[in-house]
């Protein structure tokens, strides 16, 4: 299975599962950067916390990312000013910078060796036709106080038409940063539980968190599960999943570009150097964004990035390849705050737009402050119950029309008529078996696995992801492994098993 450099270069964790009911001040559901940051800040402030994850921690999106810490997030500030006004856009810009500083401070205070490095970020284009929006973005970023300038020279080995350079940004190794923080959580009434899947929350005094290993009680609960698995709040209609792919390749240190790069237009290419831990250097290149479940040939996504690596950098040896997905909010701003208007003790954060290392850090800061009763300068910018600005209405309709199309259209499809025995090793397909649609996969040992293709979240039909060997739901991004086990929410129940005839 594809594994990221971040996961492969750090030790596996071994926290226990929940075995008895525990009571804590705060239950933090989800062990990525959002959950671990929130739990760390809350424990530091004297709260008891229980951090729990349905898998091992930091193996969700945070373990499969590009690991840039930057306010230079493509073209965003001109749009934010237009949609929300200068005050909100300035709040977004300042808070992204503050999140970078918070990671730097925690790294210093805890003496964490996580390859944290200050560097410049570049949003660039090779096309003269795309210079106008780039220049508009430089103006917007400068107006908001960001350290942005327009440049035409970079250390990339090919010519560009122009770039927005942002100084004082950073890159790091996300697992080297987060694992020490997680290891310092247990003790004095606090816990970390792995392989403990949250399945429900009854809000009360205290709240009751239902898990597959038994209940847990907490005064406050943070849903840091990437997208809330509770449908209250309807976040699944306000944010939409997009996958992305990454590769690392060895590169001579003197040939590695300095700084972090992302294209302003399509196709997206994101680039950064990564120290390999042995004195050498890797080049990480990513891109190929698409909706999960929409591309039957995900392998070609890796091939496209391999071609780019070879053409632009002359690199052909790939050490790691991986993909993951993040949620894009229809109005571009993440949602951080109370789950619903009525929630008193239930909080959530989602919609990080593939910039969740700053936004997840920020979510941890904002939600910890909310629970501690402290004011936070930026909470109003990310208000989870805000109304969408009119500008995003078209995007809301388009995204949800796509979901509706899958919900209805996929059900009308008949399923392939070939027999399960005709599937090749590694292949998966929705087949018509005895008049019923069945999701069938043949593993490398030749064994067939049959499942219901009906996603346990809201009932769309999953489709096979060849490169990752998973069943992915095109509607809200739930993913299941070949045996039907949930590997990514919002679904919390596994796909139902089916038996093949004969």
Ligand X SMILES: Cc1cc2nc3c(=O)[nH]c(=O)nc-3n(C[C@H](O)[C@H](O)[C@H](O)COP(=O)(O)OP(=O)(O)OC[C@H]3O[C@@H](n4cnc5c(N)ncnc54)[C@H](O)[C@@H]3O)c2cc1C
Say whether residue 116 binds ligand X (CB under 6 A).
no
The edge-to-edge listing of strands for the beta sheet with 463-465 is: 463-465, 470-472, 479-480, 486-488
How far apart are CB 207 and ligand FES at their closest, in Å? 24
Here the tokens at position 263 are 């294209």
At a CB cut-off of 8 Å and minimum separation 6, what does 481 contact?
Answer: 469, 470, 471, 487
Site for ligand X in 10-29 (CB under 6 A): 29
Nearer to ligand FES, 219 or 291 (CB): 291
Sole binder of ligand X in the list 360, 477, 482, 484 (CB under 6 A) = 360
Say whether residue 479 binds ligand FES (CB under 6 A).
no
Site for ligand FES in 329-358 (CB under 6 A): none
What angle (nearest 5°) sits at the alpha carbon of residue 170, between those of residues 167 and 176? 175
How far apart are CB 459 and ligand X at their closest, in Å? 18
Here the tokens at position 302 are 């890796």
Q: Which does 31 bind (CB under 5 to 8 A by kind): ligand FES, ligand X, none?
A: ligand X
Rounded Cα distance, 306 and 318, in Å: 8
Say whether residue 410 binds ligand X (CB under 6 A).
no
Measured at CB, which residue is nearest to ligand X? 356
**What SS3 class is residue 117?**
strand
Say whether residue 140 binds ligand FES (CB under 6 A).
no
Sole binder of ligand FES in the list 355, 457, 467, 469 (CB under 6 A) = 457
Instruction: Give 312-328 as a DSSP string.
Output: HH-----SEEEEEEEEE
Say whether residue 460 binds ligand FES (CB under 6 A).
yes
Q: Quick check: 191 and 24 in contact, CB under 8 A?
A: yes
Nearer to ligand X, 37 or 392 (CB): 37
Site for ligand X in 238-267 (CB under 6 A): 244, 246
Using the contact rule CB under 6 A, the part of the chain among 20-28, 344-352, 419-427, 451-459 near ligand FES is 451-459
Say whether residue 238 binds ligand FES (CB under 6 A).
no
Say whether residue 72 binds ligand X (CB under 6 A).
no
Distances in Å between the Cα of 353 and the Cα atoms of 58, 142, 179, 282 are 18, 22, 24, 25
**What SS3 class is residue 150?**
strand
**What SS3 class is residue 299?**
helix
Q: Which of 123, 136, 139, 140 is nearest to 89 (CA)?
A: 140
Rounded Cα distance, 137 and 126, in Å: 16
Here the tokens at position 342 are 């009525």
What angle (nearest 5°) sits at the alpha carbon of residue 254, between those of residues 251 and 256? 50
Say whether residue 382 binds ligand X (CB under 6 A).
no
Say whether residue 324 binds ligand X (CB under 6 A).
yes
Rounded Cα distance, 179 and 66, in Å: 17
Sole binder of ligand X in the list 22, 61, 164, 462 (CB under 6 A) = 61
Site for ligand X in 209-228 (CB under 6 A): 224-226
**85 phi/psi in degrees, rounded to 5:** 95, 165
Sole binder of ligand X in the list 22, 24, 50, 54 (CB under 6 A) = 54
Sole binder of ligand X in the list 50, 51, 53, 156 (CB under 6 A) = 53
Reduced DSSP (H G I as helix, E B as strand, rest coil) percent helix, strand, coil of the chain, to 5? 30, 30, 45
Sole binder of ligand X in the list 31, 74, 91, 482 (CB under 6 A) = 31
Rounded Cα distance, 502 and 321, in Å: 38
Say whether residue 458 binds ligand FES (CB under 6 A).
yes
CB atoms within 10 A of CB 418: 12
Say whether residue 356 binds ligand X (CB under 6 A).
yes
Nearer to ligand X, 121 or 437 (CB): 121
Say whether residue 237 binds ligand FES (CB under 6 A).
no
The total number of residues shown for the chain amounts to 502
Say whether residue 491 binds ligand FES (CB under 6 A).
yes
Say whether residue 452 binds ligand FES (CB under 6 A).
no
Q: Quick check: 112 and 204 in contact, CB under 8 A?
A: no
CB atoms within 10 A of CB 284: 25
Q: Which does 120 bind (CB under 5 to 8 A by kind): ligand X, ligand FES, none?
A: none
How far apart are CB 292 and ligand X at their closest, in Å? 10
Sole binder of ligand X in the list 2, 3, 17, 55 (CB under 6 A) = 55
Say whether residue 318 binds ligand FES (CB under 6 A).
no
Which residues of the shown chain bind ligand X in the complex (CB under 6 A)? 29-35, 52-55, 59-62, 65-68, 197-198, 224-226, 229, 244, 246, 286, 324-326, 352, 354-358, 360, 489, 492
Which residues of the shown chain bind ligand FES in the complex (CB under 6 A)? 455, 457-460, 473, 475-478, 490-491
């Amino acid at each position: 299975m594809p594994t990221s450099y971040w996961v492969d270069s750090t030790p596996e964790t071994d926290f226990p599962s929940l075995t008895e009911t525990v009571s804590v001040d705060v239950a933090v559901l989800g062990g990525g950067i959002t959950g671990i940051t929130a739990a760390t800040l809350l424990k530091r402030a004297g709260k008891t916390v229980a951090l729990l994850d349905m898998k091992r921690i930091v193996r969700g999106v945070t373990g499969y990312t590009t690991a840039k810490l930057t306010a230079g997030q493509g073209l965003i500030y001109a749009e934010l000013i237009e949609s929300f006004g200068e005050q909100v856009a300035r709040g977004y810009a300042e808070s992204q910078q503050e999140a970078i500083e918070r990671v730097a401070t925690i790294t210093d205070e805890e003496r964490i060796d996580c390859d944290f490095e200050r560097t410049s970020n570049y949003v660039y284009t090779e096309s003269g036709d795309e210079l106008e929006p780039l220049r508009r973005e430089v103006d917007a970023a400068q107006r908001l106080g960001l350290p942005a300038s327009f440049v035409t020279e970079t250390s990339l080995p090919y010519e560009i038409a122009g770039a927005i350079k942002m100084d004082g940004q950073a890159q790091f190794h996300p697992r080297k940063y987060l694992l020490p923080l997680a290891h310092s959580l247990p003790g004095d009434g606090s816990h970390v539980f792995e392989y403990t899947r949250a399945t429900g929350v009854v809000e009360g005094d205290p709240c009751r968190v239902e898990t597959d290993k038994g209940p847990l009680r907490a005064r406050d609960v943070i849903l840091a599960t990437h997208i809330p698995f509770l449908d209250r709040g309807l976040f699944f209609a306000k944010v939409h999943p997009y996958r992305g792919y990454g590769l690392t390749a060895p590169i001579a240190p003197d040939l590695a570009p300095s700084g972090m790069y992302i294209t302003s237009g399509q196709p997206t290419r994101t680039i950064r150097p990564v120290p390999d831990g042995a004195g050498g250097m890797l080049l990480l290149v990513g891109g190929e964004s698409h909706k999960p479940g929409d591309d039957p040939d995900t392998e070609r996504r890796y091939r496209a990035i391999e071609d780019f690596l070879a053409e632009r950098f002359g690199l052909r040896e790939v050490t790691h390849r991986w993909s993951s997905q993040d949620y894009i909010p229809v109005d571009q701003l993440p949602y951080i705050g109370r789950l619903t208007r009525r929630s008193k003790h239930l909080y959530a954060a989602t919609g990080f737009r593939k910039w969740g290392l700053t936004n997840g850090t920020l979510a941890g800061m904002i939600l910890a402050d909310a629970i501690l009763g402290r004011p936070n300068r930026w909470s109003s910018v990310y208000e989870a119950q805000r109304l969408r600005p009119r500008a995003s209405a078209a995007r809301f309709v388009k995204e949800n029309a796509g979901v509706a199309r899958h919900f209805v259209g996929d059900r009308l499809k008949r399923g392939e008529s070939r027999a399960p025995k005709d599937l090749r090793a590694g292949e998966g397909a929705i087949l018509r078996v005895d008049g019923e649609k069945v999701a069938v996969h043949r593993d490398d040992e030749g064994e067939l696995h049959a499942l219901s293709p009906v996603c346990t979240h809201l009932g769309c039909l999953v489709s096979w992801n060849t490169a990752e060997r998973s069943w992915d739901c095109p509607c809200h991004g739930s993913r299941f492994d070949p045996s039907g086990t949930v590997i990514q929410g919002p679904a919390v129940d596994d796909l139902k098993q089916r038996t093949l005839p004969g």
